[in-house]
Structure 1
Amino acid sequence: MLDPLFAAMIAEQAKALEDQPQPALDDLPPDMIRAGYRMQRQAQDQNAPRDVAARDLRVGGASGEIAARLYTPAGAGAQTPGLVYFHGGGFVIGDLETHDGHCRRLAAGSGARVLAVDYRLAPEHPFPAGHDDALAATRWAFDHAAEIGFDPSRIAVGGDSAGGNLAASVALDLRDDAARKLAFQLLLYPGIWPDAETASRRDLDGPILTKAAIAWFDKCLAAITHKDVHRAMLGRAKDLAGVAPALVVTAGYDPLKDEGRDYALRLRAAGVGAEHVDYPALVHDFFLMADVSPAVAQAAAETAAALKVALG
């Protein structure tokens, strides 16, 4: 059963749309959609830990410097495990602000420093710009580990939704990089982009993530006809052996739940340590809506605790 507090929120939003129907996504400029998403998610997450220090900085992207934010948990020593984190939003929306509370909870609960990366977004920067930035920023984190307080032997990548896709893609890209060996990958309701439609993509149209939104994100990204589409469409990855161990988190009311579960199974079949945790009563994007239901805080605490164990 859907968490009753999320059910109430969704019903309230549906009622509001009855009174004021929204235009199609294609009829709105991306910046307007980004601003609306930022405003909504910030309003739903105003009680994140404040004892986590946050510092804005610039890191190396694929075509020059890009913005990032380094979160340092209270009481951290000069060196801690590190998580390079990529926000979700279909490769089109989302930023450092939408995910600020979530990254604070990850840092506070795991004891790891978190480097949130503001990679370039489509449609202004179509595929593979975001993937290239994610890879470059992760390499930068390894190469500048001493500066940002990362233990280079305990660096993970992570992300939610589209950010989970980026994290999984980076893990594959760095599999054979002996100088930059990832310790872990944290994949939160990841968009694996399966080769064939899953049952959950077929049967679920929302809540939160709708078929129309998925189609718009895919159109903006413009990856499907690119020669390197396999970097995003991870359902086509034939060999997963040797990638970093993973935690895959899914939500019961999420069109992406089956592909996340299946990716964890494929990792295990390839001999990779992979745990799959499902929250059957929750929805896509739940980590960013901590003020909606206490269930989010519980899931966030469990996820951060798992990250802490994984990074030692």
Structure 2
Amino acid sequence: MPVHPEIKKILDIIPKSDSKPKIIPEEHRKMFDSPVLPVEQRVQVYSVEERIVPTDEADVPVRIYTPNEAESYPILLYFHGGAFMSGTLESHDEVVRPICKESGYKVISVGYRLAPEHPFPAALVDSYNVTKWAADHKDELKWDGKNLAVAGDSSGGNLVAAVSLMARDKREFTITKQVLFYPSLDLDFSEFRYPSIVENGKGYFVESDQLAEINSFYLLGNVDTDNPLVSPIREENLENLPKALVITAEYDPFRDEGELFVENLKNCGVHAELKRYEGATHGFLGKFTHLDEYKDVYIRTADFLKS
């Protein structure tokens, strides 16, 4: 179907340019982190708490969302998007709140260190360490001891897949489910391997010809993009990974790699579900989930987490 009319209205007012502007992280952050709905207009949950999680590598800020008053909770770690160099606990607050409310999970949103100040593997290390911290603090968090899920959007989806791989291989805790919203799973942009990167590469918020430069801030130095912890789509052995839900958008350059990841998981015997939202673009969570066509994404996510 065509791009949703309400999304097209926004696309139409974005200035068009034939030149490729230089990516400046500070400017990218200003654009990415605003605007956010006033707190009173966001989905309300039982409580929201700011914490600092001490780890060996860094003190990581987190925001803990509790859906209701209960004796115990399933727990979900949320890793925000933003190309590894943008995004904050606040920028994704309006995404995390409905996931918490609909699913009944206590959600811990992770403010991992950002590139280029902290390139790979800082974001991944922080995300893994906070997940381990949650598993180690069962009584403090009132974790039910059974359900430990991870979720994230875009680059956060990359972290979801990588943390799931690390957890499987290190065996320090067990992740039960993973949710990836329009994930970026292949960071090698030396050639465009997926049709959607070409088909949706211009005019849909994410410009494919800028992806290599954007990700270069995360991949400082001689980082091997074939490393599955950098590009999870490169992992050949996906056995014994958590059940997965992958959400893709029709007009997203990353659509095809997300959908290929589902097929790869299934081929390795992992339960994996896919939902493509037609007429949607990358980043539709929060910004366009008030529209009838997309408002069920949080319920779909909750149903998967509770199943």
Fold match, TM over 0.5? yes
Structure 2 runs not aligned, ≥5 long: none
Are residues 1:98 and 2:128 paired?
A: no
Instruction: Work out whether 1:277 is the aligned partner of 2:271.
Output: no
Q: Which amino acid aligns with 1:49?
A: V
Q: Deviations over 1:231-256 (max 9, x none)?
A: 11112211000111111110101001
Residue equivalent to 2:27: 32
Instruction: Check conservation: 1:171, 1:243, Cα contact below 8 A.
Output: yes
Cα 1:52–1:290 change in 2 (3 A) is farther
Which residue of structure 1 aligns with residue 200 of structure 2? 204
Q: 1:264 aligns with which of 249, 262, 265?
A: 262
Is residue 2:237 matched to residue 1:242? no
Aligned-pair identity (%): 31
| Higher normalized helix content (fraction of residues) | 1
Counterpart of 2:134 in structure 1 is: 141
Alpha-carbon RMSD: 2.4
Higher relative contact order (CA 8 A, sep 6+): 1
- Indicate the SS of the match to 2:266: helix
Aligned length: 301
Q: For 2:249, what is the secondary structure of its paired residue?
A: strand
Equivalent residue runs for 1:1-312 within 5 Å: 1-12=2-13, 14=14, 17=15, 24-26=21-23, 28=24, 30-40=25-35, 42-43=36-37, 47-61=41-55, 63-73=57-67, 75-193=68-186, 197-205=193-201, 206-222=203-219, 225-227=222-224, 229-290=227-288, 293-309=291-307
| CA distance, structure 1, for counterparts of residue 169 and residue 20 of structure 2 | 46
Runs of 4+ residues deviating >3 angstroms: 20-23, 43-47, 176-179
Q: SS at 1:297's partner residue?
A: coil
**Structure 1 unpaired stretches of 5+:** none
Shift of residue 23, structure 1, vs aligned partner: 8.1
Secondary structure of 1:173's aligned partner: helix
Please list the CA deviations of residues 209-260 of structure 1 after superposition, one character each: whole Å capped at 9, or x if unmatched.
1124422321111168325833111122110001111111101010011000
Distance 2:40 2:282 in 1: 19
Q: CA deviation at 1:64?
A: 2.2
TM-score (ref. length: structure 2)? 0.90
